[in-house]
Structure 1
Amino acid sequence: LRQYQLEGIAWLRFLHTLRLNGALCDSMGLGKTLQALICVAISHDVVHHAAPDSKPVSIVVCPSTLVRHWIAEINRFFKSDDPVFFPLELSGSSTSRRAVWEKGLVFCNIIVTSYSVLRSDIRMLASQSYHYCVLDEGHLLKNPKTETAKASRQLRSKHRLLLSGTPVQNHVHELWAVFDFLMPNFLGSSVFFSEKYARTISKGQAPGASVREISEGIEKLKTLHQQVLPFILRREKQQVLRELPSKLVTQIEVPMSDLQRRLYTDFCSFADVQQSLRALDRAAKDDLGDRCLEQAGRSSLQALLFLRLLSTHPWLVRSAIPVASEISDNDWLRFDTSGKIRALADLLRELSIFTDDLSAADNDSSLLYCEDDHTKCLIFAQFIQSLDVVEKLLFKPHIPSLKYLRLDGRVPARRRYAIAEEFNRNDEIKVLLLTTRVGGLGLNLTGADTVIFLEHDFNPFADLQAMDRVHRIGQKKAVCVYRLVLVDSIDQRIMKLQEKKLAMSEAIVNADNSTMFSMGTDRLLDIFTMRSDQE
C-alpha cells in the first residue's frame, strides 16, 4: 500500500469507530476499490474476533461493467490459505440470480452486484441486513427521485461508504443526494437544503447577480464546504503520485468541411434551433446547469442531438435532411466530408498508429509513414453511430490491416472486462473504440498512452473519468489526450458548459479534503453539537 492509501484506510476506520459514514472521492485511478475492500476486511475481522460465531455480510453495488472488476480485485489482493472474502457475484438472468442467491448466501460474506440488479431485485436484497454497503460510482445517486437512488436507500446496513471520483457534477443539490444516502438528514430535508444553501448559491452565480447576492452565495458555499468537509476525502494524482507520468491535454480546433458548414448553417436558421442553442448557452452561464436543457423540451434536445451528430459526420443525419438526395453518395461516404474524421485520420498518422496502408480519399498513395513506436490509443465517442462511422468510413476501407477492438453498449456487460484485458495484453491491437458512458467507468486501460475524444459530454466528469482509464496507477508512459473540437459548432458551447460545472465542483470539494489534518475532523463533535443546539 502507498502512504496515501494507508491514510485513506485510517480515515475510513476513524469514521467507522464514530459510527459515521463518508465518501471516498479520490481522483480516478488511485485505488479506491482496494482501500474500500481493506476497510471492509478489517471491519469483518474485528466483528469475527469479538463474536466468533458471527458472520458479517457486506454488499458492493457498482455499474454492470465493473462487477467483474470487483470480483477480480478481490481474487487478486485477498488470495491466501485462509481467505478473507468469499465473494458472491449476483448477475445474469432473474432466474439464475435467485438460484445463486439461495445457494450462495450460505457461504458468502461479500456480495457484488450492479445497479440494474439492485433495481430489479431490491426486495430480495433488502431482506438481508449488511455490515457494509459500498456504492461504487456513487455519483449515480445524484437524482434522489430515480429508482436507483430509492433502491439504494432501502438497503439496510450498519455502515455505508460511497466511492466516486466526481461527487458533484452539475448542481450543488447533488451533494444533498449523496448525504441522503450516507447520513440521512445530516443536511436536512431537500426543501431545507434548497432554502439554506442551494437557492442562495444559485442566485450568486446567476448572470446579472448583484454584489450582495454574489457575496451571500460565496459565504453559503464556504459554509456548506466546511459542513461536509470531514466526510469527503479526496486526493488528486498530482498530490500523491509523484512518479506518475504526466498527462498533457490538447484541444485541437478543427474546421468544418464545406458540406458540414452548408448543412450546419441551414439547420441553425430555424427559430426552434436558435432557441435550443440559447438554452445551452444559458446552462453554461448559471447554476441551473442541465436543468435548463431538461426543461427545454424534447424538440430542443433533438435539435442539439442533430447538431452534435452533424459535427461528427454528415452521414449521421442524412435521413433527416430534406436535400439529402441532392448530395452524391460519394460525398456522403467520404471520411473527409467530416472535418473531425479527417483530423482523426491525420492524428492517427502522426501518432504512428498505422504503418503503411492508409490511403487518402482519392486513393493517393504518396503519403509518408512513420515507424511503429508501440503507441496504443483509445478513441471515445458519445454515440454508437459515431463509432460506426469511424469503423466503416475510415478503418475498414482505408486502414484495413489495423487491429482494433470495440467497447460500447452493444457489448454485453459480462464481456467488457475481458475486452479491456485483451486490449492491455495484446500489443498488436492498436486502437480501442469506446463510448464514453460504457468505457469511461472503472476499467483499467493502461495499455494505452493516448486518448482521443471525437465527441464531448455535457458532463465534464464523464470525459475526465474516460481520460483516467489510462492515466492511473500502472501507467509507465506519458499520457497524451486530444480533444477534437469543431470550430463554430455546438462543440465549443459544450466546452464552455464543462468549464462552468468544473468550477462548481471545485468550490465544494477541493484541496481541503485531501488529508485528515485539513479536513477538520477535530470539529466533528462541534458539528453535531451545533446541529443539536439549532434543533
Structure 2
Amino acid sequence: MAETAIVLNREQWMGSQESGASGVRPVVVDPYLACHLRPHQVEGVRFLYECVVSGPPGQRGAILADEMGLGKTLQVLTLLWTLLRQNPQGSRPLVTKAIVVAPTTLVRNWEAEVRRWLGPERLRPLSLVAGPAQAEQGHRLKAAAGSKTISALGALGCPARVLLTGTPVQNAPREFFAMADFVRPGVLGDLPAFERVFGGPIARAQDRAGTEEDKALGRERARELVSRISGFMLRRTAEVNARFLPPLSVYIVFCRPSELQLREYRRVLQSTAVHTLLSNGPGDQALAVLSSLRKICNHPCLAPDPDRDAGLTPDSPPRPADSGKLAALDAMLAAALADPGERAVVVSQSTAALDLIGALCATRGWPCQRLDGATDPARRVDMVDAFNRHGVGRVFLLSTTAGGAGLNLVGAARLFLFDSHWNPAMDRQAMARIWRDGQKKACTVYRLLTTGRRGVWRWEVWGG
C-alpha cells in the first residue's frame, strides 16, 4: 500500500496490527478518486465514514453542511464508492445498494457527476424522476413536526443516512432539528424539549428586544448545541476555497432611482392600501405593498398601475433609463462583454425581471440562456454544459429559486445579483454559482441595490 494512500479506518487497522489481531483490512479510497480530493475533502470523507459505519443501529447518520462550492458531491460519491467496494472485516462490501434522493431538477446533475468522477465503466446509476423529494439539499427537510417527504424517506428503511446542505439553518433552529432528527432520530430529544432548551433561548437571543440575560443564555445554549451535534455534523466555510480557487471580489452597487421610479414610489405610498396599513396595522395587504415596492426597485413597468402610460408594460421594449438598476446592469454588461472571452450570469428572484433583462440582451445582441422554474429538468444539465464547455450564450439568466442550488456555472467569471430574495440564504446560494471547482478566472459578484436620498431603499434590505 502506497504511503500516500487514504485509509479511512486507519485507527482500527493500526490497532489490529499492534495487537496482533487478524481479520481487519484497511479501507482505502480508490486512487482514481483520491487524486482529486483536496485536504478538506479527505477530512470530510473520513468524517462521513466514521459516522455511517460506527455507532449503534439507528444512529448511523451525518449532515455534511459545507458551504457552497466545497465539493460535497465528490465527498459523498467517494464515500459511496468505497462502501460499495470494501469491508474491513468481511468478504461482502459494507453496502450493496445506495439511494441518492434529490430534487427533480438535480437528478441529472447527479448522473453527470457520477460519470465525471467514476466513469460509466465503474458505476452506472439508475435514475428515477419521481417528484421533488430531497436528501441532497437537506435544508428542505425543515418541517420539524414531520412531512410527507420525511415520512417517505423514513419508509425506505436505510440503516445509514447522510444529508447534504449548504444552509443548515435558514430561518429558525427548529428547521435544523428536523434534519438532525432524520439522520439520528432522538439525538436532540423531542421537538417540545428542543424548543424549550435550545430553540427558544437561541431565538430570543437574536431578537432585537432580547435582554442581556437572554443573549447570554442564548450564547450558552448555542455552544451546547454545537457540542452535541459536532459528532455527526461537519461544516466548513467557503474561505477554504480561497487556497485553491482564483480570487473572488464582491461589490455592492448602489443604483440611484429614475424619476419615474420616484413617482411610482410616491404613488404607492399615497395609495389607499398604505393608508389602511398605517391606520390599522399590518394586514392582508402588507405583502402586496412590499411586493409592489420591490418591483419598482427593479423597473416601474413591473408594478401594476392602471393610470400609467399604456406603453410602459413588461411586454414593451426595455427602457433602461426608466430604472436605475437596469441602466447600471446594461452599462456593466456592456463593459464586461466587450471582451470576447467574457461571459456573465444574471440572477433574479423575479421571472418578470428576467423577461425584461432577456429583452434587453436581445436588443444588445448578447445571446442568452435561461434557467427558471419552467425549464424542463431533462434539459438542465445540457444547458449548463453548453454554457460552460461550448460557449453557448454570453449571458446566463438564472432564477434565484430554481437555480440557486446544485449548479456549476464556471463558464462565467462575473455574476450580477439583480435583486434580493426574501430569504438571504437563497442569495448566498445563487452567488456561489461561479466561484467553485473548475473556475480558472478571477471572479466578481455584483449585488445591485436601489438607493434614495437617505440610503438604501428599505424594502431592498428587507428582501435580502
Q: Same fold (TM over 0.5)?
A: yes
Tell whether the 8 Å contact from 1:456 to 1:494 is kept in structure 2 after alignment.
yes
In structure 2, stretches of 5+ residues that fail to align are: 1-36
Q: How many Å apart are 1:328 and its aligned residue?
A: 6.5
Q: Does 1:378 align with 2:345?
A: yes
SS of the equivalent of 1:72 reads: helix
Any residues of structure 2 matched to 1:267-306 within 5 Å, and which? 267-270=268-271, 272-273=273-274, 298-306=284-292
Tell whether the 8 Å contact from 2:416 to 2:448 is kept in structure 1 after alignment.
yes
Q: Hey, which of these two has a bigger chunk of helix by percent?
A: 1
Between stretches 339-348 and 482-491, larger displacement belongs to 482-491
Paired residues in the alignment total: 419
Any residues of structure 2 matched to 1:166-185 within 5 Å, and which? 166-185=167-186
Q: Does 1:465 align with 2:450?
A: no
1:6 is matched with which residue? 42
In structure 1, stretches of 5+ residues that fail to align are: 92-113, 119-133, 279-294, 356-371, 499-535
* Change in 2 beyond 3 A, CA 1:185/1:314: same
* Change in 2 beyond 3 A, CA 1:245/1:56: same
* AA in 2 matched with 1:348: L
2:226 is matched with which residue? 225
Distance 1:146 1:276 in 2: 35
Distance 2:223 2:410 in 1: 37
Distance 1:22 1:188 in 2: 17
Q: How many Å apart are 1:200 and its aligned residue?
A: 1.6
Distance 1:151 1:238 in 2: 36
1:28 is matched with which residue? 68
Q: Normalising by the residue count of structure 2, what TM-score does the alignment of the two structures yield? A: 0.83
1:158 is matched with which residue? 159
Percent of aligned pairs sharing the same letter: 32
Between stretches 156-165 and 34-43, larger displacement belongs to 34-43
Q: Does 1:411 align with 2:381?
A: no
1:88 is matched with which residue? 126
Q: Normalising by the residue count of structure 1, what TM-score does the alignment of the two structures yield? A: 0.72
* Change in 2 beyond 3 A, CA 1:80/1:327: closer
Tell whether the 8 Å contact from 1:376 to 1:450 is kept in structure 2 after alignment.
yes
1:323 is matched with which residue? 307
Q: Deviations over 1:200-220 (max 9, x none)?
A: 222222223222222112211
Q: How many Å apart are 1:49 and its aligned residue?
A: 8.1
Tell whether the 8 Å contact from 1:404 to 1:430 is kept in structure 2 after alignment.
yes
**Structure of greater relative contact order (alpha carbons < 8 Å, 6+ residues apart):** 1
* Change in 2 beyond 3 A, CA 1:80/1:344: closer
* AA in 1 matched with 2:381: Y
SS of the equivalent of 1:473 reads: coil
Q: Does 1:37 align with 2:22?
A: no
* Change in 2 beyond 3 A, CA 1:194/1:455: same
SS of the equivalent of 2:425 reads: helix
Q: Deviations over 1:402-456 (max 9, x none)?
A: 2221111221011011111111123362110111112221111101000001111
Distance 1:297 1:153 in 2: 39
Q: How many Å apart are 1:162 and its aligned residue?
A: 0.5
Distance 2:106 2:290 in 1: 31
Q: How many Å apart are 1:241 and its aligned residue?
A: 4.7
SS of the equivalent of 2:393 reads: coil
Between stretches 167-176 and 206-215, larger displacement belongs to 206-215
Q: Does 1:307 align with 2:293?
A: yes
Between stretches 262-271 and 213-222, larger displacement belongs to 262-271
1:15 is matched with which residue? 51
* Change in 2 beyond 3 A, CA 1:254/1:241: closer
Distance 1:147 1:491 in 2: 40
Q: Deviations over 1:86-127 (max 9, x none)?
A: 311102xxxxxxxxxxxxxxxxxxxxxx652x4xxxxxxxxx
Tell whether the 8 Å contact from 2:103 to 2:131 is kept in structure 1 after alignment.
yes
Q: How many Å apart are 1:55 and its aligned residue?
A: 7.3
Q: How many Å apart are 1:36 and its aligned residue?
A: 0.6
1:246 is matched with which residue? 247
SS of the equivalent of 1:90 reads: coil
* Change in 2 beyond 3 A, CA 1:302/1:233: same
Q: How many Å apart are 1:297 and its aligned residue?
A: 5.9
